[in-house]
Structure 1
Amino acid sequence: MNSYLTFKVVNEVFAVNVSNVMEIREYEEPKPVPQKMEFISGLIDFRDEVIPLIDTGLKFNLGKVEASQNSVIVVLNLKKDGEEETFRVAIMADAVSDVIEIEEGRLKTIRHDYKPEYVAGSFKNEETFVLVIDPDQVFTINEVVEMDKIIASAKK
């Protein structure tokens, strides 16, 4: 059994393994960043560090997430591609749904020609089709390097 946090982005429902989730918090307006990647909304403070706030709708090609009173920020701990080193990002979601326990056998694979690399599979929860993301695959190594540069320049 694996535990997944489900969240809604635009009209889609996604799930991420709870082992990657560090915190769920109310939406807060991020600090603007002058030179940024399209899907970065800005920067937020998280404990003793500054991390990028990702507009998950833009990153997943679903359209911009419009902040509302239900919007939340989910802080994820991710591994850099092929490394043990981790980094943190915050993602915007229209709402967080539930934590669901899923048996490994219920997770269905999706053919590679129909999905991005970061979609690990899917499952059906009641009448809802849920896409399970592999958060370590959401960002390319070039995007991680660029985010590091943005954070470093904001600290100056």
Structure 2
Amino acid sequence: MAFYQFHKAQIINATPDDLWDFISSPSNLKLITPDHMGFDITSSNAEQKMYEGMIVSYKVSPFPGFNTNWVTEITHVRDKEFFVDEQRIGPYTFWHHQHILEPLDQVVVMKDIITYQPPFGILGAIANRVYIRKALNKIFNYRKKAIEEYFAERGLGYMTLV
């Protein structure tokens, strides 16, 4: 069973406080998720700031014609530096997502590192090669634009590193 990693890094012209306020609120996930994914938060705690042990549940369509529940736990939080969410129930056999903030002069480098394992063994490996990896790229490209627009509306800029 293969594990895969997906990396993205972005430079955001914002303060660590402003960026942290945005990304540490589960309710903002809907703002940065493509509409075609049918993403809806179903837990009642989405308006709270995240904390270690927080459970957040969603309904999502990771690929056309397949709807599922996705439950994640926030397992690690270091205020204004990083947090980790891990899937407890959902479409992957394993999902571990690190969100890392690194202040750099007047900007913040935001890194996402996702370690995941698709279900179904060799079929999952084929699905990763044919679909999953490309879908993750599309999702994070959408997030890039959504975050760019969010901070541009507040008079801040944004650019992509990788």
With structure 1 as the length reference, what TM-score do the two structures score? Answer: 0.29
Q: Which has the higher strand share?
A: 1
With structure 2 as the length reference, what TM-score do the two structures score? Answer: 0.28
Q: Which has the higher helix share?
A: 2
